[in-house]
Amino acid sequence: MTATMPITRTVLPDHRDSMWIGGAWTRPSVDERFTVVDPTTEEVIGSVPAGSAMDAGRAVHAAAAAFPGWSAQPLQARLRPLRKLLELLERDADGFADLITQEVGMPRQLSRGVQVEFALGVLRSYLELVPNHPFEQRIGGSLVIREPIGVVGCITPWNVPLLLVVQKLVPALAAGCTVVLKPSEVTPLNTFRLADLLTECDLPPGVVNLVSGSGPVVGSAIASHPDVAMVSLTGSARAGRHVSALAADSVKRVHLELGGKNANIVLDDAPLDRAVGAGVRQACFNSGQACLAWSRILVQRSRYAEAVEIAAATADSLRVGDPFDAGVDLGPVVSAVARGRIRDYILLGEQEGARLVTGGAAPPPGLDRGFFVRPTVFAGVHNDMRIAREEIFGPVVVLIPYQDEADAVRIANDSEYGLHGAVWSASEERALAVARRIRTGRVDVNGAPFNLLAPFGGYKQSGNGRELGSWGLESFCEVKSIQLGESDVQVTVGGTT
């Protein structure tokens, strides 16, 4: 593990004093602000208003007023602003990557190649998918219509901010919904930059509204507002439970994409170097700050010692340092709070009796400034330990031995979560059979790439509902059945028969 020293920053400070409400930059009702800190330098790089419940209510009112006109627009009219947004985001892709690196701490090449490129990929996928979606179907004597659900509150996290905003915003607008967007107060600047682009897209006033603020204040106001038809939240299980409770009074739809404690099952015939090495690197992606991280690696007991050595060597090879340095694999975690939580879990693992193989709670050598955490590997882990059950959200990997295939599946499923997972085997057929038995929303076989057209979401306390592809579009639709009389089945796509 090689540490590098910080280099020159490339993003100018960005201080915002207004929020985008009703088609205009609007001053908040209160004077409080959130500062945004560069996790590498610990310097303030911007600030945004800490909005109030009143500000959230103004945004919901604007979205509700805009909904009848926007939802009545022909499909191609709704897609036109999204095509413009794609053009503008492609133009400014490098600037967004720089900003995300400075806000989140992700290495610059990954900010550009994953955070920004995946956001562009989601936008392109919906522009291709939506015109062919069956918004109307003739089924026997019924006309089945998919209509926009109404005003949608989108609450997004700090770890993959641009992608997760686009992942909600684009299908909601394409379906005909209007949106109130609340980004994380930790990394809000890229969402404000996206709002700058949206002001150039000729959207009617109130179709998209941006309100910055805390979850307990602005998020709660959105979730409980009677004029909000749906809340789509990506965040922690705690936030998901809170939003669900608030939404229950008005029985609004709640779509939750929450945490994960994902199992990476390495079967006894798998190529060990590839499976374990890829597993450690994936678990340390974005410094482990990803709900889909394979933070539990399950290895057959007879190959366990070798797997531990591979995991340690892989973690030690990862370069930690300034995320603008092209040679860096891991930047800092997002904040001092996040760093403290991760270090506490590392110390807890040692207290629980797990064996610290590499890494640890001490800062990486030469990186006393910035919120850096060393890639950490634990062996001798049992699945009932807290470090094996709780989402650490940092570059911490635990290796758990299993007896046989059935035992591996049992351990993988012995979790409150069910978001993601992986299976490795020399036989794809065998890996697929095991993947079918894992209670998670998505499973990768032998390192298969992420598919932006396939549904993403979780079982159990990882949430409910699905994003991406046609499933993501359906999330923002209500279904109406109109009885007309007997007829053969016909399908209408894109508004024309």
Distance CA 369, CA 442 (A): 37
d(CA 305, CA 118): 37
What's the one-letter identity of residue 149? I
C-alpha–C-alpha distance, residues 169 and 472, integer Å: 10
Tell me how crowded residue 76 is: count the other CB atoms within 10 A of its CB: 12
CB 152 within 8 A of CB 227: no
Q: Please give the Cα distance from 161 to 179 (Å, whole number).
A: 16
The encoded tokens of residue 134 equal: 């069956």
Q: Using alpha carbons only, what angle is made at residue 431 by residues 429 and 436, rounded to the nearest 5 degrees?
A: 95
- Type of residue at 145: I
Contacts of 249 (CB under 8 A, 6+ apart): 224
Task: Say if CB 466 and CB 473 are below 8 A apart.
Answer: no
281 contacts: CB under 8 Å, gap ≥ 6: 314, 318, 329
User: Does the active-site annotation cover 477?
Assistant: no
Q: Which two tokens stand for residue 125?
A: 């996928």
Instruction: Indicate which residue of 257, 284, 391, 467 is catalytic.
Output: 257
Burial of residue 294 (CB within 10 Å: 0-12, 13-18, 19+) is buried
The Cβ of residue 228 has, within 10 Å, a number of other Cβ atoms equal to: 25
β-strands 490-492, 444-445: how paired?
Answer: unpaired
Residues facing 434 on adjacent strands = none
Element (H, E) at 238: helix 237-248
Strands 463-464 and 477-483: unpaired
All residues at 6 or more sequence positions from 275 whose CB lies less than 8 Å from its CB, including other chains? 264, 266, 424, 447
Q: Is 43 a catalytic residue?
A: no
Name the 3-class secondary structure at 277: helix
What crossing angle do the helices spanning 75-91 and 161-175 adopt, rounded to 10°?
Answer: 160
Catalytic residue selected from 177, 284, 291, 477: 291
Tokens of 472: 């993501």
Task: Assess contact for 328 and 320: CB atoms under 8 A.
Answer: yes
Which residues are tagged catalytic? 257, 291
